[in-house]
Structure 1
Amino acid sequence: MRPSLSRRLATPIIAAGAAITLMLGGAGTAVADPTPPPPSSTGDQSSDNLRWNLSLTAVNGAPGSNIVHPGDTVTFTSKIWKNSGIGRYMTAIRQIQPAGFEYVSHTISKLSNVTPEGEAGVKATCTGGGCNSVPIIGTKGYLDNVDFAVTYKIPLTQAFGDYNAGFKFDVYTFGSQQGGSGAWVRVVDPKVATTTTLTAPVAAKTGEQIDLSANVGPADAVGTVQFKDGDNNIGSPVTVVGGVASTQHTFETPGAHDITAVFTGDTLFHDATSEISTVDVTTDTTTTLTAPATAVVGAPVTFDAAISPATATGQVQFKDGDVNVGSPVDVIDGSAAITRTFVEAGSHSFTAHFTGTGGNLNSDSAASPLTVNDADFGTTTTVLEPVTATVGVETNLSATVLPFPNAGQVEFTVDGVPVGTADVGTGDGVAVLPHTFDTVGTSNVVATFVGAPGFATSTSAEYSVTVKAVEPDREDTTTTLGIAGNSTVGNAMTFTATVAPAGANGTIQFKVGTTAIGAPVAVVDGVATITHIFDAEGTYAVTAAFVGGDGWNDSVSGPTVVGITTATTPGPGTGSLGSLSGIFGS
């Protein structure tokens, strides 16, 4: 139940229409004590030593009190009457308007003209034939009272405090204005003071719902509470029930949020705002590092760190293992990046460490491994064989790659058509591919090295091969190659070429890659043999080319790959060649 007005005031308000006699005093007198002194009784006032009796009363809404409120109407009544002694004629009387009060109306018991004069007062001047013969107040020899009542409205904006309505009058005999006493009222606040206490968590996270509660005192206060985040409203006003208002809220942004609860009372209760409760709101973050898995010495490498959410603020420190790489980088729109150039090959493990500001929590990326390799060597590929070929007869296409790569293949094309690939010998950089031309004329051969770790790709210029027709009255031959011996550096190995049919006559030119080994060797009973010592490790393609004598067609063996190593311990006899099956074909 809403408390009654009289219960909430220290001094009861006067009942409507009642008249009370108020304490007389000087205009504008301030009273420190919030409870005004009791009103004095009407007395015999000696204003001009002529013993005219004066009194001043205020009429308000409740008897027995001079406590009023903004919005009240107050009536001040001046009473003047003759007591004894020599009579005097009154020409005018004036009530001094309390500062800020608004004039409403007046009444007077004697014939007179009444003129409101603003804050100077409300003046009543005698009328009816001259003030020296027709006084406002009775003539000498009889008693006659004057009642002069002026009603004022107290504005709603009136400042609280004490206000005086003074009284003055003019005496005809003296020809001067005399001062009378005044009566005062005290304007006080009619509303009940309230308090608001906010309960809020000390910390929260974005996206998580929290509870906010406000306790309003007294518990029967009527009104609403608006919860606020700084100057921004949190939801709609919440009705106070039993002195409590509560709501739930989810923060969208991290940082320090200043929360208040603002109570707005109805007509009987004052507003009140709680003290600020600061809620430290944080946001979880994630950091993702993007970097290449490999890099080349001397080439720039960029490391990108993506921070989520993208609105997070802070810096990223990139690290190579435990070592900082550069200075921390500001995060802009959820991203930070750094570029580094490596001066030597090696393995690295990069991470990105985000340090948040404004309530954004720290986070670390997963490690990103990086292998830095030396820059690839530039290569040159050149086709060297064959100069001539016979249509329908298998021959070898040969190309060299410089510098010698440690792996890789060469792809051959004939007249723009790919015809196959062959491994590159690591010992001599030669790739050999058996091929049979099917058209008489000139064919163009191109070899492309497709690359290997540390070696760049390269493509040869076109190489022209003259393809001849089969000579008549010649018999076809085949040539095969066999290799025996210790396949280590510095040991002799035996190359044996076998030509079929066994009766074919001619010579064999042995080759390692495209390098001829010795002079051509005559074929005897279908066999030709030579020895060779390899002086470097690596893989080599060995071939045997038969140049037929009268009546015999040429033929060539497929390449046989020999892997040459350095002997770790000397040993007698012939070492195992392992598998000599041609990785370039047979």
Structure 2
Amino acid sequence: MFDRNIRRLVGAAGAIAVAAGFAVTVGAGVADAASNSVTWTDGNSKFTRTISNVNPRAGDTITSTTRFERTSSVMEFIYWVKDWHPTCLTPLSARVGSNPNGYDSFESYGIDSNGKNGDWTKLDGNLTKWSVNSPTLSGRPTYPSHRTFEITYKVEAKCDRDVPLDTGMSYKGSLGSGTYKTKGPAITVQKDQPVISLSAAADVPFTQSATLTATVTDSAEVDKIDFYDGTTKIGTGPLNNKGVATFDWTPDTPGQHSLTAKYVGNSRAEPSESSAQTVQVSDAEITTVLTGPEAADIGSESTFTAQMSPVPSGGTVQFKDGAANMGDPVPVDADGKANITRTFDSQGTHTIIAEYSGTDGFARSTSDGLPVPVSEAETTVMLTPPASAARGAAVDLVAQITPAIGGGVVQFKDGDTDLGSPVLVGADGKASTTHTFRSAGDHEITAVYSGTLGHRGSTSGPVTITVTDDGGTGSPGNIFGS
């Protein structure tokens, strides 16, 4: 009875024991996993509470242990023990230990109840189940000299970080009761330390998109990941429910790129950065497609167009007729095109190709050969007859060459007989002569064009001119050539 009265007088003022030097703390710094203990006395009872790791992280398991000892010869029976803890701890299992034979031993024990608010876990005994003797009696050791209550918890992600969270205990025994809800040791849940791994293709063609994938482990607090090319932030990807963030990256320069994935951190998780991944951005492959006429005439202009895909940022195209350059290189425009106009001076099949020079980030490229058959252009001759003809009177004969090209000659004929010498064709495509018919009757007149470089010769259709003796009007007949 004396012991119980002492317990009640002192129990409400347990802090006095700590101030008097009975609290003992053992452990490492905040950043490391550390076991801490606090010891105090209340009347003739000595209590030691130990937390296996006072600096846990979310997902860890920790153990809270309360050890009862007596400092007097009066034995006490423990009826129940409540372990007070942060509501973010989930109790997993319990054990009760003692040293009935002088050796410590533990037995698993069922958790009897938990606090309505989730802030305590209770183990119930009975009137005689859990005894605690004084360490010695008449100079001899007695057993059990202590009783230990151990509860294992899981640290949940909802715990506040970097804030001391109180722990403690309360109990009821045969000599009284005690309540020490915040006696300690306090638990400080550390910020998560996310681990980020980054995956990316080792080689990426310039201008093409590549998916960067960041996978986050060891934290449920990360919501997004920033992706970097060297020191330049290139984008952000939200984290999905599998802890993965992605970003589609299109390189802006060729060469080597050092890519990382970073998390900036928040009140519940530390900043983190992946290892750098080196990605080689190679020159983009270019396809050059050449288009032009299916056929061409000598002396006529033909236009050829080279289209580069994807569109490069510069460079030139050298057009070639076989192995011979067709003029100077042509700059590629903003649409990825280059054009050239060529006039062929020889007939036959000409194979045209386009060679793209390449530029920063874009590879060289050569088109397929484009065969172009080149031939002489067709011509037609139209003969214009006089309105009338009379024997012995001079008349004008005019031949029009189409297309209207200069060069070549026209031989006017009366049947198979040449009417004078060949006549040069002027720049307007015309040739004319003056002729005096010596006989009356029908005369079949034609104009035979010799052709010139790139243009075939041709003959007009026959024109029948009726020549009269009396100066009458002749009939013009068919005036169109062939």
Same fold flag (TM > 0.5): no
Q: Greater relative contact order: 1 or 2 (C-alpha under 8 angstroms, separation 6 or more)?
A: 2
TM-score normalized with structure 2 length: 0.40
TM-score normalized with structure 1 length: 0.34
